[in-house]
């Protein structure tokens, strides 16, 4: 009897010790690698944009010795194919199967909206390094969902102001999905504010590149200017088709992204095109000069706005992590630090509005050789109005 009860005691003690050890472990600060889920396209029309975002993000981490707030960074990467129908499954894989600490993505607005829903429902930290869908920092906004790029309205609006300096009428051409619709809406607002009028909106489905019928229609309408939102590989073909159709000199073409990262492929067809964006090649800002040198050295290529947005996503995540010394369990404190972050971005000063969308300067640029050269600042510290975000 005595022996049995002694044995039971010993077992109880062992169990208690194990429990106590587990309890301590559960409360101990995590010290292993931080898991970063990169959900970006590596195939399809936005593949190059996804690659640039990932390169920018990784550059910041590399510059910091492969660590953020003292913890090693481990990447879990997934090709989202810019396919909204696969977005829910893909985002859930990263959150539930891989248990990432942060979800970084993506390029396509439709895919990003689904990702943001998953992030909101699972309280996973998310940073959008490109997609401009209004809802993400609008009606669907959430404390844990940030964006380091733009709302589609921002560059559209700035380009509208730019075009209105010289023209009174315009026709728009866009891919029929959230980014195209919202970009055109922004353009219209800026263009009308400057005294112009949009007389027709033309569309084609994403990622269709059969532009000819729309260019023929544009030529018959004869507006003073045209605004286009197509992106990635599609914008190379659009600019070439536009020049080949003989429209370049008769109907000046404007677009926010239309020459970004693609000037080499577009060649002479893009020369002189005017755009407005939150970055320009060779901006004379010390942070940008250091960024260009570092990017060039690491990748043997010039960065673009997508690389900047990825770099700043890493900077923003780092600001949150540093505030809690790498202790990712202190989510509320991390989020507060990210909300208040004032980043030195290669684009210039970068802060965030209550909706977690960037407040940033918008630059007028002109395509000169292989560079989108800044001519002037169109709007300083432009914030998205985000009236539907209740935070
Ligand atoms: C978007 O889908 O939000 C999007 C994609 C490519 C761009 C800009 C916006 O260049």
For 117-135, how does the pLDDT look when each residue is reduced to its tens digit (9 = 90+)? 999 999 999 999 999 999 9
Q: Are residues 260 and 179 in the same domain?
A: yes
- Please say whether the beta carbons of 148 and 316 come within 8 A: yes
| DSSP label of 133 | -
pLDDT 10s digits, 62-91: 999 999 999 999 999 999 999 999 999 999
Written as six digits, the tokens of 74 are 């481990």
- Of 109, 277, 357, best ligand 1 pocket probe by most atoms within 8 Å of the beta carbon: 109
Instruction: Give residue 286's pLDDT.
Output: 97
Pick from 81, 152, 185 the residue to mutate for probing ligand 1's pocket: most ligand atoms within 8 Å of its CB: 152
Are residue 190 and residue 272 in the same domain, yes or no? yes
User: So what's the pLDDT on residue 13?
Assistant: 44
Do residues 166 and 133 both lie within one domain?
Answer: no
Q: Which pLDDT score is estimated for 191? A: 98
Test site for ligand 1: of 39, 44, 46, most ligand atoms within 8 A of the Cβ: 46
Are 135 and 158 in the same domain?
no
Distances (CA, A) of 232 to 48, 96, 251: 7, 31, 23
In the prediction, which pLDDT does 29 show?
Answer: 81
The alpha helices in the chain, defined as continuous H runs, are 2-27, 47-63, 87-92, 109-122, 153-164, 178-193, 212-221, 233-244, 263-266, 286-299, 305-323, 331-339
Of 234, 262, 277, the one marking the end of a domain is 277
Kind plus residue range of the DSSP H or E element containing 126: strand 125-128
The total number of structural domains in the chain stands at 2
Q: How far is the CA of 53 from the centre of ligand 1 (A)?
A: 12
Return d(Cα 227, Cα 167) in angstroms, integer: 12
23 in any annotated domain: no
On whether both 182 and 270 belong to a single domain, the answer is yes
Boundaries of domain holding 102:
34-150+283-360
Task: Compute the distance from residue 178 Cα to the ligand 1 centre, in Å.
Answer: 9
- Residue 274, pLDDT score: 98
pLDDT at 14: 52
Q: How far are the Cα atoms of 16, 38, 40, 67, 288 from residue 295, in angstroms, in the given order?
A: 53, 19, 20, 18, 10
179 lines ligand 1 (CB under 6 A): yes
Q: Which of 277, 300, 326 is the last residue of a domain?
A: 277
Q: What proportion of the chain, given as a percentage, has pLDDT over 90?
A: 92
Question: Quick check: is 317 in a domain?
Answer: yes
Start-to-end CA span in the chain (Å):
65
Residue 11 lies in a domain: no
DSSP string, 259-282: TTTTHHHHGGGGTT-EEEES--BT
Residue to mutate (ligand 1; options 257, 304, 372; most atoms within 8 A of CB): 257
Q: For residue 231, which atom of ligand 1 is closest to its CA?
A: 10
Angle between helical axes of 305-323 and 47-63 (0-180°, round to 10): 40
The response to whether residue 52 sits with its C-beta less than 6 Å from ligand 1 reads no
- 383 occurs within a structural domain: no
Report residue 30's pLDDT band, with 50, 70 and 90 as the boundaries.
confident
Within this chain, do residues 180 and 137 fall inside the same structural domain, yes or no? no
Express each pLDDT in 273-320 by its tens digit. Answer: 999 999 999 899 999 999 999 999 999 999 999 999 999 999 999 999
Nearest-CA residue for atom 9 of ligand 1 = 131
Q: Is 257 in the pocket of ligand 1 (CB under 6 A)?
A: yes
pLDDT band at 6 (very low <50, low <70, confident <90, very high): very low
CATH of the domain at 262: 3.40.50.2300
> Is pLDDT at 3 greater than 70 in this prediction?
no
Q: Supply the mean pLDDT for the chain.
A: 94
Is 171 domain-assigned? yes
The residue whose C-alpha atom lies closest to atom 6 belonging to ligand 1 is: 231
Report the separation in Å between the CA atom of 232 and the middle of ligand 1, taken as the mean of its atom positions: 8
Beta bridge partners of 140: none
Instruction: State pLDDT tens for residues 38-66.
Output: 999 999 999 999 999 999 999 999 999 99
Query: Looking at ligand 1, which residue's alpha carbon is closest to its atom 3?
Result: 131
Whether residue 143 is found in the same domain as residue 184: no
Domain boundary among 277, 300, 321: 277
Do residues 172 and 255 both lie within one domain? Answer: yes
Q: 372 CB less than 6 Å from ligand 1?
A: no
144 and 42 within one domain? yes
Distance of CA 248 from the midpoint of ligand 1 (Å): 24
Segment 225-267, tens digit of pLDDT = 999 999 999 999 999 999 999 999 999 999 999 999 999 999 9
Instruction: Tell me the CA–centroid distance for residue 329 and ligand 1, in Å.
Output: 32
User: Measured from the CB, is residue 109 less than 6 Å from ligand 1?
Assistant: yes
Indicate if 128 and 207 belong to the same structural domain: no
Domain contains 62: yes
Indicate whether residue 134 lines ligand 1 (CB < 6 A).
no
Q: Does 39 reside within a domain? A: yes
Does 185 contact ligand 1 (Cβ within 6 A)? no
Centre of ligand 1 to C-alpha 130, Å, is 7
Report residue 8's pLDDT band, with 50, 70 and 90 as the boundaries.
low
Band of the pLDDT at 24, cuts 50, 70, 90?
very low
327 and 241 fall within a common domain: no
Tell me if 193 is assigned to some domain: yes
Please state, as a whole number, how many other Cβ atoms lie within 10 Å of the Cβ of residue 282: 13
Per-residue model confidence (pLDDT) at position 31: 86
Assess whether 111 and 51 both reside in one domain. yes
CA distance 141 to 138: 5
């Amino acid at each position: 009897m005595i022996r049995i009860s002694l044995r039971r005691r010993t077992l109880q003690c062992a169990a208690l010790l194990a429990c106590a050890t587990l309890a301590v472990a559960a409360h101990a600060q995590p010290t292993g690698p931080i898991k970063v889920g990169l959900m970006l396209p590596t195939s399809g029309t936005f593949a190059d944009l996804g690659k640039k975002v990932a390169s920018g993000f990784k550059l910041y981490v590399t510059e910091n010795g492969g660590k953020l707030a003292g913890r090693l960074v481990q990447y879990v990467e997934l090709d989202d194919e810019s396919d909204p129908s696969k977005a829910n499954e893909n985002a859930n894989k990263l959150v539930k199967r891989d248990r990432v600490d942060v979800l970084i993505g993506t390029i396509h607005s439709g895919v990003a909206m689904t990702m943001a829903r998953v992030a909101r429902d699972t309280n996973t930290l998310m940073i959008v390094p490109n997609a401009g869908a209004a809802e993400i920092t609008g009606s669907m906004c959430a404390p844990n969902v940030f964006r380091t790029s733009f709302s589609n309205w921002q560059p559209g609006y700035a380009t509208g102001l730019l075009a209105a300096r010289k023209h009174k009428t315009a026709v728009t051409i866009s891919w029929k999905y959230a980014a195209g619709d919202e970009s055109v809406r922004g353009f219209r607002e800026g263009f009308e504010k400057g005294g112009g009028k949009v007389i027709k909106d033309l569309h084609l489905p994403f990622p269709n590149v059969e532009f000819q019928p729309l260019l023929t229609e544009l030529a018959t309408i004869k507006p003073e200017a045209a605004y286009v939102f197509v992106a990635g590989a599609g914008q190379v073909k659009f600019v070439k088709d536009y020049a080949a159709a003989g429209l370049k000199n008769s109907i000046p073409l404007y677009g926010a992204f239309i020459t970004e990262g693609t000037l080499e492929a577009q060649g002479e067809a893009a020369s002189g095109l005017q755009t407005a964006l939150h970055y320009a090649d060779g901006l004379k800002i010390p942070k940008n000069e250091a960024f260009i040198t570092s990017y060039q050295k690491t990748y043997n290529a010039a960065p673009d706005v997508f690389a900047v947005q990825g770099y700043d996503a890493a900077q923003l995540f780092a600001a949150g992590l540093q505030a809690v010394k790498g202790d990712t369990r202190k989510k509320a404190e991390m989020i507060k630090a990210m909300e208040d972050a004032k980043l030195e971005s290669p684009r210039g000063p970068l802060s965030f509005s209550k909706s977690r969308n960037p407040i940033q300067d918008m630059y007028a640029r002109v395509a000169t050789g292989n560079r989108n050269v800044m001519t002037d600042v169109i709007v300083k510290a432009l914030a998205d109005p985000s009236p539907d975000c209740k935070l």
